[in-house]
Amino acid sequence: MQTMENLEKIRSITGDFETQRQSLLAEQQSLQQQVESTGAAFDSAIATIVQFRAQFRQAAGSMTPENRAAAVEQLRQLQANIDAHMGNVMREAGLSDDGANA
């Protein structure tokens, strides 16, 4: 009788471990997808910045000094917005080293 009870306990524990293993695998896959998605978003943002900078350089040659100064300020604001957004995304993903998730 004791052997049957022990066998049932072992089966129960084994089932619990398998359930936990499956849950952890699903969580790992979800996190991997999030990392890949975030990486793709960063790649896209970087490509957009590179393209914008090239267009800016091309247009800057024909700008008046006032227009150039305004465009430079807009570019600085854009960069600040991108930096802030990327910082937020990294904090939300737990990838920030600024102590926000420590």
pLDDT digits (tens, 9 = 90+) for 34-78: 888 888 888 888 888 888 888 877 877 777 888 888 888 888 888
* Percent of the chain residues past pLDDT 90, beyond the cut: 11
Mean pLDDT of the chain: 83
**Is the pTM for the entire model greater than 0.75?**
no
In 3D space, the residue among 94, 79, 3 whose CA is nearest the CA of residue 11 turns out to be 3
90: three-class secondary structure by DSSP: helix
Q: Does 99 score more than 80 pLDDT?
A: no
pLDDT of residue 84: 86
| DSSP annotation of 99 | S
User: Distance between CA atoms of 81 and 77, rounded to whole angstroms?
Assistant: 6
